[in-house]
Amino acid sequence: MNYEKPKKRNPQETESSKQYKPRPRSEQGEPQACQHLRLLDCNKPVSRAIFECYHCQEGLLCEYKNVLPVQDIDVRCPSCGKIAIKLIGQEVISTTVIPSPWKSV
């Protein structure tokens, strides 16, 4: 069998490739939408999630089964009717509108 010998690298090339090169920042970057989420009782068969609707930012409390087999669950917002969040679990038991804990009063 014929094996090729590894090529020797120039030490100057490897040092220059390891240097940090910052990305240019855009001055006009718009803030990206984010979603607050707090998961409770993750190790129990029925878990809870407190989150804000992605569309209307309404506070929601969701109880869902968290046992195998799990799948992607689309949780709809009772206020706006759109998909508020996607969770991984078995099924949604209830979704309740609550005051958002992340909105300043």
The C-alpha atoms of residue 20 and residue 48 are separated, in whole angstroms, by 42
- What's the first-to-final CA gap in the chain, in angstroms? 75
Report the sign of the C-alpha dihedral through residues 38, 41, 42, 45, in that order. negative
| pLDDT tens string 79-104 | 999 999 999 999 999 999 999 999 87
pLDDT category of residue 6 using cuts at 50, 70 and 90:
confident
| Tokens of residue 51, six digits | 């989150």
Backbone angles phi, psi at 28, to 5 degrees: -105, 25
pLDDT digit string, tens, across residues 41-73: 999 999 999 999 999 999 999 999 999 999 999
pLDDT at position 5 is 78
8 Cα distance to chain centroid? 43
Whether this prediction's pTM lies above 0.85 is answered by no
- Degrees (nearest 5) of the Cα angle 94, 48, 74? 60
